[in-house]
Amino acid sequence: MLFPKAAVCAALLFVSIGSNLMAGMEDVVISEIHYHPVTTEDLEFIELWNTGTVPVNMQGAQISDAIEYTFGSVTLQPDERTVVCSDRTQFLNFYTPRFPNIADSLAPGAFLNRLNNAEETVQFLAANGDLIQSVFYQDLTPWPNRADGAGSSLEWIHDGPRSTDSSTHWRASYLVHGSPGESGLERRIPVALNELLTHTDLPLEDAIELINLSDSPIPLDGWYLTDSINELNRFQIPVGTTLQPNGFQVFYELAFNFTNPSIPFALSSAFGDRLLLVATDSSGEPLQFVDDVEFGATQNGVSYGRFPDGVGTWSRLKDLSFGTDVRAGDDPAALSVFRTGAGAPNTAPLVGPVYIKEIHYNPVESGAEYVTLFNEAEFPVALYEAGARTNTWSLQNAVQFVFPQEVVMQSKETVVVASETPEAFRARYDISENIRVFGPFEGALNNAGEILELVKPDPPQTTGDQIGFVPQIILETIEYQPFAPWPTQPDGLGGSLHRTGTFASPGSHTQWSAGFPTFDVDTDSDGVPDSWEIWYGLNPASSLDATLDTDQDRASSLEEYLAGSDPTDSASVLQFTPSVSFSANTLNGEFLRRSDRSYILESTTGFNSGSSWSTALEINATQPEFHGPLPWDGAEIEIPWTSTSAPLFLRIREIDSATNQ
């Protein structure tokens, strides 16, 4: 049996509300933490925000643990923010030119001690000592590292649930040096990094594409592109550069590396890199982080971009879209043509042919964690580098598993990577030798959400100081979550995550649905798997509920499971409703069925043990097979029959997709 694992969070926060707090105190939240200023620690600050609808008397409330501060006579109005700083004089000198009214938001005095640059706990206490909020931040991934001395503060993302229990609820501020006393989240300039090309041979070179997401022109004069958070001024965009409405702008390596008069740079294809776009003020000082992307190793001639343009998640793209037809392998002399590209809409992501198909991260007690891969191609795919066969594919991040040597996935094959040995997994689920199982993987799939990556090796480096180094190319990154908008049923409620699309970004929740695990056990041996019973509120330890008819549609739980219908919905049941039309000499009717399954309607005129059944109609599936609940739809049926004919008996038979029988 599987021992249930505890959810592990990268960051902790809990909220405890006392019984005699001052009115509205529970609505005050820590909304910004500037723990590692880029200039001096004297500019550290913490911002609190009254998210409620009534004024809050802050007299005697405290910020403690990391630093020490007690509020005096301060009343925080609804939607008002107050800032507590480490050095009042330096803070006002630095921030007043940026925020002229900052003094109105600054609490009296200053806090004692300093915020740790690596990790720290910040507590907010009511005057009576009751804990309102406790935030434990870190400077390590998945916490935003731009807040660690690179110019940003930590800002609470307040457009989601009122919770700050993990790094997912915090972001690095867009504004350089943060936004004390104000909400900085809505100050984003509508320009984005859109497509990058970082691994090139002639006639290609590194390229960076920007997109204007607005209907107005945006001057880029003096802005910076840089691959270093410590040197934001590496490449300054030339004066006179304007990004046209909904338009594109491409900068080539010729500009930001070969002829760059400031600090030349190129984007690393072997180790991955980071690129930042920084807007400046009228004096040329960095003002706002407009966009920021980190990426891993990349394939030669394959770009990395957003889909949809400017707003989607980052992934490998099917084709280059910098504005010319020049591609890898063309005549090296075509470089001059490639550099003329002014940008274009991105293509769809490059997905597969091998991709992650199912993630079972929180199985029921009788189950085991697993991940499946699927090869959608019409040809075999080797899970190793052709020129260095010992370098094989892997799963990384949430779990770690390196595939054995010489593994080749056949066309349309599914393989399993399990949390236990293949022998234990086969015994648990009683699956055939035809399904290949690998494992065990190291680590565990976090029930609280985690990042899972499918990685393949690039050819080893042959030049420079890194001869023999093997770049690891991330084919797809999936950051699943146990809460909406991700499906919640896979979080221990009988389901697993199933890939339902391959043409949009694989990491998007829109590409995943909740379904029944492909592999399951039947503890009570009643013919109904445990996960299915838990999904629908039945008891996997009792065989009695297999005969139940919960929704009174005359189908038992076992029959509903076999039909793929919902035992709690009487409208979801395998049935044929006939109606007779004498004028047309046909029998008409509607057949309720699953749209991912195929059926045969058979007929006979003699209903006995020796009756011969013939096919009256074939009803084909209208969508791919899915291991989960689907809405039942109707298929119109017409078969020849007259009222003077012999009695007609009908039956519906589902066709097995594997055997076509």
Please write the tens of the pLDDT for every residue from 66-79: 899 999 999 999 99
Q: Is the pLDDT of residue 140 over 60?
A: yes
The confidence score (pLDDT) of residue 15 equals 35
pLDDT at residue number 578:
74
Question: Model confidence over 52-63: pLDDT tens digits?
Answer: 999 999 999 999
CATH architecture of 575-655: Sandwich (2.60)
pLDDT(8) > 70: no
Domain boundaries, the chain: 13-185, 191-338, 354-515, 575-655
- pLDDT tens for each residue of 229-271: 889 999 999 999 999 999 999 999 999 999 999 999 999 999 9
Residue with tokens 């599914």: 414
> Which pair of tokens denotes residue 416?
């399993």
Per-residue pLDDT, 13: 32
Q: Quick check: bond before 203 cis, omega within 30?
A: yes
Mean pLDDT of the chain: 89
Q: Please report the pLDDT score of residue 2 as a whole number.
A: 31
> Which residues have a Cβ under 8 Å from the Cβ of 627 and sit 6 or more positions away?
498, 515, 516, 517, 518
CATH topology of domain 191-338: Immunoglobulin-like (2.60.40)
Task: Check residue 9 and give its pLDDT.
Answer: 31
Q: Do domains 13-185 and 191-338 have the same CATH topology?
A: yes
Going from the C-alpha of 595 to that of each of 536, 632, 654, the distances in angstroms are: 21, 7, 12
Mean pLDDT of 163-184: 85
Alpha-carbon distance of 450 to 175, in angstroms, equals 28
Give the pLDDT band of residue 529 (cuts 50, 70, 90).
very high
Q: Which residue has the higher pLDDT, 639 or 308?
A: 308
**How far out from the chain centre does Cα 18 lie?**
36
Measured between alpha carbons, how far is 377 from 413 in angstroms, rounded to an integer? 9
13-185 in CATH: which number?
2.60.40.1260
- Which pLDDT score, from 0 to 100, does residue 659 have? 53
pLDDT confidence band for 623 (50 / 70 / 90) = confident
pLDDT of residue 310: 94
Q: Could you tell me whether strands 414-418 and 437-438 are parallel, antiparallel, or unpaired per DSSP bridges?
A: parallel
pLDDT > 60? residue 660: no
- Distances from the Cα of 145 to the Cα of 45, 112, 280, 287, angstroms: 17, 25, 21, 18
- Report the relative pairing of strands 119-125 and 62-65 from DSSP bridges: antiparallel
Q: What stretch of H or E contains 560?
A: helix 557-563
- pTM for this predicted structure: 0.79
**3-class SS at 525?**
coil
Q: Which of these ranges, 33-42, 402-411, 640-649, has the smallest mean pLDDT?
A: 640-649
Question: Could you tell me how many residues make up the chain?
Answer: 661
Please report where in the chains the tokens 């189950």 appear, as a residue: 367
Using pLDDT thresholds of 50, 70 and 90, give the confidence band for residue 7: very low
